[in-house]
Amino acid sequence: MSRTAILTAVGLLAALSLTAAARAADVRFVKGPTVVKEGDSTKISFAVSSVTDVEVAILDADGKVIRHLAAGVLGAAKPPPAPLKAGLAQELTWDGKDDDGRQVLSPPKGKPAKGAVKVRVRAGMTAKFGRTIGQPERIGDAWKHRDRLEPLLAVSGVCDHRVRLDPGAGEPAQHQVPLHAALVGHLGRDDQPAGASQ
C-alpha cells in the first residue's frame, strides 16, 4: 500500500470520527428509556432527539451482555435493521431470552432464574481506535508467484490469508483460506471451553 493511500485512509477515518463526535454531542433522550414487564415479555421504549446510532442490550447482574437486542441508526434516510423501526421513537419487545435462546426471565420448571437483569439503551456512540489486529508490518506485503501478484494479510499466530489477483485484468482470480476449521478448533469462543463445538 502506498504512503499516499495510507495517509488518505487515516485522514478519512479522522474526518469520520470527528463528524460522529459532533453528531453525538447533540443527541439526547426526549422520552425514556422505559421498561415495562408484560406477561412473559418486556416492552422497552424510548425516543431520541436527532439522527443517531443506538444500541439496546440486556445485561446480567454482573453487567455482562446476555442479549444483543438491537443496534442501528435512527432517523436516517435508510430505515434501521429490525427490530428497530424507521423514526426517532422506538418500542421493542424482549422475549426474555438470551443470545443463545435460553429463557432467563421465566426459566423452565426446575431451573433457577439467572438473577436480576438490566436493560441498557445507548445513543450517540462514537467509534474509537482500540488496537491493531494482525501483523501491521506485513499488511501490504506482496510477492509474485506464477505471474500473479499475491497480496498478504497476516493474522498473528493463526494463518496467512492470501488473495490471488490476476495483474492483467485486476479481478480476483482465486480466494484462499489455507487452514481447515479442524486445525484451529482450539481457538473457540471465549465463553466456551477450548475445543467445544460452536
List the domains of the chain with CATH numbers: 33-123 (2.60.40.4070), 136-184 (no CATH)
Residue that has been written with the C-alpha cell 508490518 in this structure? 137
CA distance 8 to 71: 29
27-64 pLDDT, tens digit each: 899 998 999 988 888 999 999 999 999 999 999 888 99
**pLDDT over threshold 50, residue 189:** no
CA distance 20 to 6: 21
Q: What is the mean pLDDT of residues 61-72?
A: 92
Can you read off the three cell numbers belonging to residue 64? 455482562
Q: Where are the alpha helices (DSSP H) in the chain?
A: 3-25
On whether the pTM is more than 0.75, the answer is no
Output phi, psi for 154, to 5 deg: -100, 125
